[in-house]
Chain A
Amino acid sequence: MSVVELVRLALSRIGSSRLRAALTMLGVIIGVASVVALVAVGQGATSGITARLEGLGTNLLTVTPGSSTEGFTRRAAGSATTLTVDDAKAISALDGIAAVEPEISTQQLVQAGTLNTTTNIVGTTADFMPVRAYTIWQGSFLTDASVNAGLRVAVLGSTTADDLGLDASSIGSQISIGGLPFQVAGILQAKGSAGPFSQDDQVLIPLATAQHYFVQGESVRSIGVSVADADQMDLAKAEIQSALEQRHGIAADGTDDFTIQDQAQLLSTVSAVTTTLTILLAGIASISLVVGGIGIMNIMLVSVRERTREIGIRKAIGARGRDVMAQFLIEALTLSLLGGLVGIVVGVAVSALIGALAGWGFVFNPITPFVAIVFSLAVGVIFGVWPARQAARLDPIVALRYE
């Protein structure tokens, strides 16, 4: 008997009891859909993090005020006021440091014509652009001259510019920040990472301007440091630490009032964690695939019992044990394969939905459905063989007498 004939038999059987077939397949559908969706969501999250990692700027160290004994967990960002503009200057005087940019920030209402948005206003220097790895899209960035003079000029992130309806023709026009007039000097190239991690929704103004109008005092929110050589990150970190300890009068074994983060390293750790989580979740989801397989086995065993007479008839009219075995096995395989296909469609739909909501878009890896198909076929074989053997072994005489 050819496989085509067997599949035809299986399909007509499944077609004659659709509800039962659908319920039987449900386990495999849920199993495959959750594996496909979880893997896609995991990959989406990881690729979001990777994009941010690449957009962070090369060899970046970030110094923030406040103590932290273990990474970022105890950091109270922005609450401490122990870091100053002078600290930034001291860091830039160290060996092996390419560029340094102090940042202060405040939330302000920004208006352009009739449109307005409340966003992050960052006071910084001309080194912001190289340190944070931004490029300019239109106009120009803050210059040393405008920073030193404390001019009321602003460079807008791409999202902020969009929100305010500003485009290439808006360079040189007036906007208002916190009620004060500013001139638009430039608009940044989008970094593209959307969602809660957006680096494109902010307005950059000269440090002195921010200090003068919005945030009084010398303390800064953070200092971005670009290290000249990627191999010297740890050395640079140690140098910065001892320089700041010295400036702040902290003993080498005392508790620092600042934190130095190697953000690239942090994010690669996060990304490794997401990958591990994805594998873990997919593993848990594949348990439901096993449960789905047991569902198929259960139904097939019931089916062998119910169809004992059919098996007897088929044997009497010439079916060999292996023909009966093949019929039941193909039926189990068809059920699991159909379940797998529906599961893939559901899983892809769910992951597209989550991707759209989370902002990393639709991540589709063609390997996943392929693996899902192989898995559901394996489920069909593993859980279909036992009932099929039961069917094949039935004695035709006993089977024909069965009521």
Chain B
Amino acid sequence: MSEPIVALDGVWRVYDMGRLQVVALRDIDLRVAPGEFVAVVGPSGSGKSTLMHIVGCLDRPTSGEYRLASTPVGTLDDDGLARFRSRTIGFVFQSYNLLARTTALDNVAAPLLYQGVSRRERLARARASLERLGLGDRLDHTPAELSGGQQQRVAIARALVTDPALILADEPTGNLASDQGAEVLALFKELHQAGRTIVLITHDHDVAAAADRQVHLRDGGIVDRPLAA
């Protein structure tokens, strides 16, 4: 059996609010193998975003161990973490999070800027990534000139441009009309078939059904079965 990409062991995340302590994640054990498509499902407030922040190295566990692509993340400093993050993870957010007033091409090329890739190569790779997602004719459009579905596809192109080991998506269809949401979901399935490792976070059971495996969160802990709706 190959090494998992994501390995969480006894991870806690506690927000210290002075007098009050909010436990957002409690004793999480989670493994995601290469090539897997895992959906993390849970109601609002169950700790999904907190989990994604930790898996995405934007945040650190209060306790417990996290290894990403065999690297113990706890040993990296902030700069090391940023660097490791940019090479290992591609993010897709619910609200797209594209740079405003910046063309699709420059948006997709932006992660490569921080990897020190030359401008020529950046633009070539960004163009190829956008073309793969069927946006070859939208290179010079700014986010304001694109539909929600197109913006999310640009965001996916940006997540893919660095060829990351893991795609991390937080409610990627949450802001989309149902037909566009279905398109984006189909895209994730395609990526999975092409061998990508994907962790998709959602509160929508229909969306979660697209994944190989579902992990259910409730009150910050992993539960075996969702409660009946």
Residues of A within 8 A of B (CB): 1, 5, 16, 309-310, 312-323, 396-397, 400
Contacts and interface: CB of A to CB of B under 8 A. Distances in A.
A320 B79 contact: yes
Interface centre among A5, A314, A317, A319 (most CB of B within 10 A): A317
B116 interface: yes
A318 B82 contact: yes
Given A5-B119, A315-B58, A320-B78, 20 more contacts: A1-B113, A1-B116, A5-B113, A310-B99, A314-B99, A314-B114, A315-B82, A316-B56, A317-B111, A318-B82, A318-B85, A318-B86, A318-B111, A318-B114, A318-B162, A319-B82, A319-B114, A320-B79, A320-B83, A400-B97
29 contacts: A1-B114, A1-B116, A5-B113, A310-B99, A312-B97, A314-B110, A314-B114, A315-B82, A316-B85, A316-B91, A316-B97, A317-B86, A317-B91, A317-B110, A317-B111, A317-B158, A318-B82, A318-B83, A318-B85, A318-B114, A319-B114, A321-B78, A321-B82, A322-B79, A397-B53, A397-B58, A397-B59, A400-B93, A400-B97
Interface residues of B, number: 27
A322 B114 CA distance: 11
Interface string B117-136: 00100000000000000000
Given A397-B53, A397-B58, A397-B59, A318 B97 contact: no
A321 B79 contact: yes
B70 interface: no
Interface centre among B82, B91, B93, B99 (most CB of A within 10 A): B82
Contacts of B177: none
Nearest to A309: B97
B115 interface: yes
Contacts of B110: 314, 317
Interface of B: 53, 56, 58-59, 78-79, 82-83, 85-87, 91, 93, 97-101, 110-111, 113-116, 119, 158, 162
Contacts of B114: 1, 314, 317-320, 323
Main SS of the interface on chain A?
helix
Nearest to A318: B86
A396 B83 contact: no
B57 to A, nearest CB: 10
Nearest to B80: A320
Contacts of A318: 82-83, 85-87, 111, 114-115, 162
Contacts of A315: 58, 82
Given A397-B58, A400-B97, A320 B113 contact: no
B22 to A, nearest CB: 15
A113 to B, nearest CB: 73
Nearest to A316: B91
